[in-house]
Structure 1
Amino acid sequence: MDDTTLAGQLAAAQAQVAQLSEELEETNRGVLALYAELDTQAAELRHANELKSRFLAYMSHEFRTPLGAIQSMTRLLLDRLDGPLTAEQERQVQFIHQNALEFSEIVNDLLDLAKVEAGRIDVSPGWFDMVDLFAALRGMFKPVLTNPAVSLIFEDPVDVPQVFSDDRKLAQILRNYISNALKFTQRGEVRVSAQRVSEDGQDWVRFAVADTGIGIASEYHGAIFQDFSQVDSPIQKSLRGTGLGLSLSKRLAELLGGSVGMQSVPDQGSTFHVRIPLRAAPPDGQPSD
């Protein structure tokens, strides 16, 4: 092979390398542009989420004052402090009072959801007994057990010692579960239980709220813990709500280092559960024992 042929092959190879280098640089510019676009979209998404959280928090605060006034006034009327009521007047005032209570619960869920999304809810773990937690929940729901065909049963905790976690947030999760179960159970029972389990090499407490209610069709199982998710049923349509309770419960459970889940069969009932560590890590990261 003479020098002219070698020079030609070398020139061709150099041209090919130059072309590949140019294509690589163009690809790199495209990747950098894509990263920049993704960063911009992520920033816009964070800004939109922040605006939503601020709006929810602001509106929730603004609603609380008039709702509190309505509840106070209806309570005064129902206590007959301003004079007697006719049967029809009492029925109407009870209706107003109940609607104000339900609206207040929705506002509280919205405010809590906004705080969670903004990272403004702190976990404050401490030692507590299951017996005390169940006793508090039993007393809380006693006034609302107006359907004699439904029993609310709290089982004795199974092998559960003192728990180190945030009992207020756990109680909020269980309140949401129990409240939903009572709404969608027209006959039978709502049963609350707690037991110690060992899974994933760790000790947990698994709480379950089981009911004999209408149940949930399988097509809704995947979305039941999402924001504003509601089950399409005649009972659901007759009840007010935003579908935020279960979504909030899921986020609170995650803050506690746990998880949520459910099983349900239409016309047979549902079981909602939450699993939290038996010993949560304290805020300073030091062992709790």
Structure 2
Amino acid sequence: MLPASLLLASIILSLSVAALVAYFRAREARLHRDSVRQRTELDDTIKALGAARDAATEAQQKAESASRAKSMFLANMSHELRTPLNAIIGYSEMLQEDAADMTPGEIAADLKKITGAGKHLLGLINDVLDFSKIEAGRMDLNLETVDVATLMRDVEATVAPVVKKQGNQFVVHSEEDVGTMTADPGKVRQVLLNLLSNAGKFTTNGTVTLRAVRTERHGEDFLALSVEDTGVGLSREQFGRLFQAFAQADATTQRDHGGTGLGLALCRRFTLMMGGDIEVESKAGSGSTFTVMLPAKGPAPDSIESAAGDEVDDSEPISFQTRMFQIPLATGKSLHG
């Protein structure tokens, strides 16, 4: 037998070795866990940096696109504002110089031209001011009970000459029991006039139809006010920026037809404010249908706020339904805008 002292020493040595083994194993496990955690944190950091880089790139691209759009808008607006303003100044100077030699009929004709140019200028300025108010959340709604059939007759009487200007037939159809809705009649009227004016502008020797029907969406009562034309229709590229503020289809749209590029953006913002949205159906070369969907009972309390500022995603403009069919990839010449 081993002496007691050697036995004790052997036991102590065994325990020490076991303790050291346990210590190094624990240390190795801790180092492994730390390594895995650090690797995971590094992976998460890399992913976060990648996401941040992608977000920054996307934000930069959007900012550059917005800057280009607004620069083009300002260039277009400077031209659009100068044209009627120069007409007003020119006809006024002519009247001042020649009034004594002009007949009352000639004076009345020039005054009519001055009035027309002034109204056009006012319309351009109103578009900019209206959009600015919506962006700032300061646009108010004047909600009333609106008789839809009466509204349709009023719109028809106002816009018929514009729609028929290029040899178009103007058809108006309203269901007998279309009834009433709660909305801002001025803004509904403005939306329809804008859509009908666009339809007449981009249609030649065709047909423009204004239709009102009562329908149901998500279990609720809605009014569908549609403007259908047999004009040029939309391409895929044009559709993507249809409701973007300060943007039109392409440079030719502004050159050929004028405008601020805010018309459809305002239409959609007004419709959102009243609790609805706009649907679009288009076939390139065969026309388009813009349908304004409005809740019959009126807008929800937060509708005005949801239509302001950055709350509206114009890159995916149609919240209810968008029906596009047989639309080629090639960009067409014109666009509703």
TM-score, with length taken from structure 2: 0.62
Task: Pick the aligned partner of 1:178 from 185, 190, 196.
Answer: 196
Task: Pick the aligned partner of 1:169 from 184, 187, 211.
Answer: 187
Partner of 2:178 in structure 1? 160
Partner of 1:206 in structure 2? 224
Q: 1:81 to 1:271 in 2, by over 3 A?
A: farther
Q: Alignment identity in percent?
A: 27
Following the alignment from structure 1 to structure 2, what is the Cα–Cα distance between the partners of residues 238 and 25?
57
Q: 1:95 to 1:273 in 2, by over 3 A?
A: same
Partner of 1:2 in structure 2? 18
Partner of 2:134 in structure 1? 116
Are the aligned partners of 1:102 and 1:240 in contact in 2 as well (CA < 8 Å)? Answer: no
Partner of 1:191 in structure 2? 209
Partner of 1:237 in structure 2? 255
Task: Pick the aligned partner of 1:226 from 217, 231, 244.
Answer: 244
Question: Residues 160-202 of structure 1: CA distance to partner in whole angstroms, max 9, x if unpaired?
Answer: 2211122222112111101111111221332111101112222
Partner of 1:127 in structure 2? 145
Partner of 1:248 in structure 2? 266
Larger radius of gyration: 2
RMSD value over aligned CA atoms? 4.8
TM-score, with length taken from structure 1: 0.70
Partner of 1:105 in structure 2? 123
Partner of 1:271 in structure 2? 289
Structure 2 counterpart of 1:2, one-letter code: A
Local SS of the residue matching 1:279? coil
Q: 1:72 to 1:257 in 2, by over 3 A?
A: farther
Following TM superposition, by how much is the alpha carbon of 1:90 offset from its aligned partner in structure 2, in angstroms?
8.8
Structure 2 counterpart of 1:11, one-letter code: R
- Structure 1: gaps (5+ residues): none
Equivalences, count? 269
Task: Pick the aligned partner of 1:11 from 24, 27, 35.
Answer: 27
Following TM superposition, by how much is the alpha carbon of 1:4 offset from its aligned partner in structure 2, in angstroms?
1.8
Choose 117-126 or 90-99, whichever is displaced more.
90-99
Following the alignment from structure 1 to structure 2, what is the Cα–Cα distance between the partners of residues 273 and 12?
69
Choose 24-33 or 190-199, whichever is displaced more.
24-33
Q: 1:82 to 1:207 in 2, by over 3 A?
A: farther
Are the aligned partners of 1:151 and 1:190 in contact in 2 as well (CA < 8 Å)? Answer: yes
Local SS of the residue matching 1:123? coil
Q: 1:231 to 1:96 in 2, by over 3 A?
A: farther
Q: 1:148 to 1:9 in 2, by over 3 A?
A: closer
Structure 1 counterpart of 2:255, one-letter code: K
Q: 1:157 to 1:106 in 2, by over 3 A?
A: farther
Are the aligned partners of 1:181 and 1:213 in contact in 2 as well (CA < 8 Å)? Answer: yes
Following the alignment from structure 1 to structure 2, what is the Cα–Cα distance between the partners of residues 84 and 33?
75
- Structure 2: gaps (5+ residues): 1-16, 304-337
Question: Residues 57-112 of structure 1: CA distance to partner in whole angstroms, max 9, x if unpaired?
Answer: xxx9xx99xx799769969989x987636999999877765554434322211111
Are the aligned partners of 1:158 and 1:196 in contact in 2 as well (CA < 8 Å)? Answer: no
Following the alignment from structure 1 to structure 2, what is the Cα–Cα distance between the partners of residues 153 and 81?
43
